[in-house]
Amino acid sequence: MITLRALTKRFGETTAVDELTVDIGPGRVTGFLGPNGAGKSTTMRLILGLDRPTGGQALIGGQPYRKLRRPLHEIGALLDARTLHPARSGRAHLSAMAASNGIPDRRVEEVLATVGLDDRAAAKPARALSLGMGQRLGIAGALLGDPPVLMFDEPVNGLDPDGVRWIRQLSRSLAAEGRTVLISSHLMSEMQQTADWLVVLGQGRLIADAPTAQVIAGSGLAVRVRSPRPTELAALADRLTAAGAVVESGGTGELTVTGSTVERVGELAYELGVPLHELASHEASLERAFMALTADHVEYPAGTGGASA
């Protein structure tokens, strides 16, 4: 289990993580979500002892990382698959990790097989690895000590569709074994299929800690709107936003609205004289739920209108 209690990290006047208290429990895949700058990567670095907290605690199995006697046996992590010696082969990299943590060298071959790196790939120097192969090697390193806690930051970067599916299946199988699995990702569709539970941050603060299904259901239905008149549609978007709805642009002349109803959107469109080519409700999704949750916590919000040249 990962336990965070009032965890805080400040960089000068900037608060990256703000009084974060949450338990990341075993036996489930926990998705770790948030807009850019929300504090996810900083939180992971604090858990691993790579940064020192300004306040509070980050514990792994009840202990801070620096007090773990055999860290790789307690927690495995993939933060940046590119942090490898460029001339060292993948097998040599894993062998060095194993030797430093008292892990039998046979375990290196086991994890290479688990992540699908054959002898030829494992013999390549790190600089010759593709991004996807580097990701697989990083995951092999996380699995090396057979730890009860695993933490992956954007693990599907660089992977093809088969690799993405493999990560999903691996994560779920690890959780089914009773391990704690924490995955940070910006791919909402993949998190919807993978995560049992969600922890969502916004500007360093906890804004959701709940089962995935509950978070999605809380967003309600989304309303899709299309109009041949983008200027008038932008006025409709402004009115809906002022009324508390979350409005996403789907391209020129298209909107997706969460937090309103088909009837209300139609009434406002009629009131403003906006001709509509489509007005329909769609099932809720994690992407729409995420946008609604984090609407007030985005560091660099995008406009609802089309981009200008």
- Across the beta sheet with 222-226, the strand order is 246-249, 254-258, 222-226, 278-282
Q: Is 46 exposed, middle or buried (0-12, 13-18, 19+ CB in 10 A)?
A: buried
* Dist CA 258 CA 241 (whole Å): 10
pLDDT tens, residue by residue, 117-139:
888 888 888 888 888 888 899 99
> What whole-number distance in Å separates Cα of residue 151 and Cα of residue 266?
45
Residue 144: strand, helix, or coil: coil
> Which candidate, 240, 236, 268, places its Cα nearest to that of 253?
236
Q: Give pLDDT, residue 284.
A: 72
Local confidence band at 143 (pLDDT 50, 70, 90 cut-offs): very high
Summarize pLDDT for 264-281 with one digit per residue, the tens. 999 999 999 999 999 998
pLDDT of residue 121: 86
**pLDDT of 108 higher than 80:** yes
Report CA 58 to chain centroid distance, whole Å: 19
CATH architecture of 221-283: 2-Layer Sandwich (3.30)
In tens, the pLDDT along 277-301 reads 999 987 778 887 888 788 877 665 5
- Give the pLDDT confidence of 194-239 residue by residue, as tens digits: 999 999 999 999 999 999 988 887 766 788 999 999 999 999 999 9
Report for 3-17, 87-101, 153-167, 258-272: range of highest mean pLDDT: 3-17
User: 149 pLDDT exceeds 90?
Assistant: yes
The pLDDT tens digits of the residues spanning 1-54 come to 999 999 999 999 999 999 999 999 999 999 999 999 899 999 999 999 999 999
Domain with CATH 3.30.70.790 in the chain: 221-283
Does the structure show a pLDDT above 90 at 259? no
Specify the pLDDT at position 268.
Answer: 95
What per-residue confidence (pLDDT) applies to 219? 67
Report strand pairing: 149-153 vs 75-78: parallel
**Which residue would you say has higher pLDDT here, 305 or 95?**
95
What does the alpha-carbon distance between residue 77 and residue 131 come to, in Å, rounded to a whole number? 17
Provide the pLDDT for residue 213. 86
Predicted confidence at residue 306, as pLDDT, reads 40
- Dihedral of the alpha carbons of 103, 53, 292, 184, in degrees to the nearest 10: -10
Q: What is the pLDDT of residue 246?
A: 82
| pLDDT tens string 61-84 | 999 999 998 999 999 999 986 777
> Where does CATH 3.40.50.300 sit in the chain?
2-211
Q: What mean pLDDT is reported for the chain?
A: 89
CATH number given to 2-211: 3.40.50.300
pTM value? 0.78
